[in-house]
Amino acid sequence: MTVNPGKVSLRSRISTLSEVTVDKSSRAARTETRTGLVRRARRMNRTLAQAFPDAHCELDFTTPLELAVATVLSAQCTDVRVNLTTPALFARYPTALDYAQADRTELEELIRPTGFYRNKAASLINLGQALVERYDGELPASMDELVRLPGVGRKTANVILGNAFGVPGITVDTHFGRLVRRWGWTTEEDPVKVEHAVGELIERKEWTLLSHRVIFHGRRVCHSRKPACGVCVLAKDCPSYGIGPTDPMEAAALVKGPETEHLLALAGL
């Protein structure tokens, strides 16, 4: 039986292309040199830049202090919920001194929707006190100083440095770690080791935007349980292609977020 190419559906053409891709990807992953890895990682970053040209910090803030507070609240909580909570909080506590002198019960009530509100309230009060005592109420702009502040770990410090001070930083959250391991950029599990490993692959000036792009991709396409491999812009460079549905229609239904139409168009749908 002969097949008329004109009758082959877009769906089956994409499926066939995808199968070829996975073979190439797994071969490439087995034989990849260090230079090859650097090139592939940078190519993937460029592809992500096309997929998510508006990638940004999804926490709302106008000052370094607001970003620090929002980042503390974002632990175990979605950015959307944090953003619903912070307008009233920022209006009530505009300065570090306001947090330092906050009534604990009142502060807890304001941030209760973000979960773990008792611990978070304690962190914010301690943070306010440390900022007033050590830095005249201002956020310092260096990693060493930031990580010495109560409630501020390396991840929070990188968010603040990258987004409030314009200092390149790699933010290793749960999405970032999962994705870069799937991509074979590193096998490390420890966030600090992941940060250093990725920092050796990607140009420093790209670090902050790379972090946003990877996190965007993790939230919208490369989900923890069912990644949308069949419509993923990174398919040809991803050694994990195929751990999620490769059928384009099935995969398309898994894509989330406002960029969905753009992402599916890039995948040829």
Active-site positions read 155, 173
**Does 41 sit near ligand SF4 (CB under 6 A)?**
no
Mark 156-195 with x for binding to ligand SF4 (rule: CB under 6 A) and - for no binding: --------------------------x-------------
Cβ neighbour number for residue 99 with a 10 Å cutoff: 27
Any idea what the Cα angle at residue 266 is, between residues 264 and 269, rounded to 5°? Answer: 45
3-state secondary structure at position 220:
helix
Span interacting with ligand SF4, options 1-9, 54-62, 166-174, 234-242, rule CB under 6 A: 234-242
- Tell me the closest approach of the beta carbon of residue 229 to ligand SF4, in angstroms: 3
Quick one: which of 180, 231, 266, 251 has its CA closest to 21? 231
Question: Toward ligand SF4, which CB reaches closer, 52 or 90?
Answer: 52
**Does 222 sit near ligand SF4 (CB under 6 A)?**
yes
Quick one: which of 203, 201, 181, 200 has its CA closest to 190? 181
What does the alpha-carbon distance between residue 115 and residue 262 come to, in Å, rounded to a whole number?
Answer: 34
Query: Which single residue is written with the structure tokens 């940060």?
Result: 195
- Tell me the closest approach of the beta carbon of residue 112 to ligand SF4, in angstroms: 35
Can you point out the beta strands (E) in the chain?
A: none
Question: Toward ligand SF4, which CB reaches closer, 68 or 233?
Answer: 233
- Tell me the closest approach of the beta carbon of residue 29 to ligand SF4, in angstroms: 11
Q: Summarize as ranges the residues that interact with ligand SF4 (CB under 6 A).
A: 182, 221-222, 227-229, 232, 234-235, 238, 240-241, 243-244
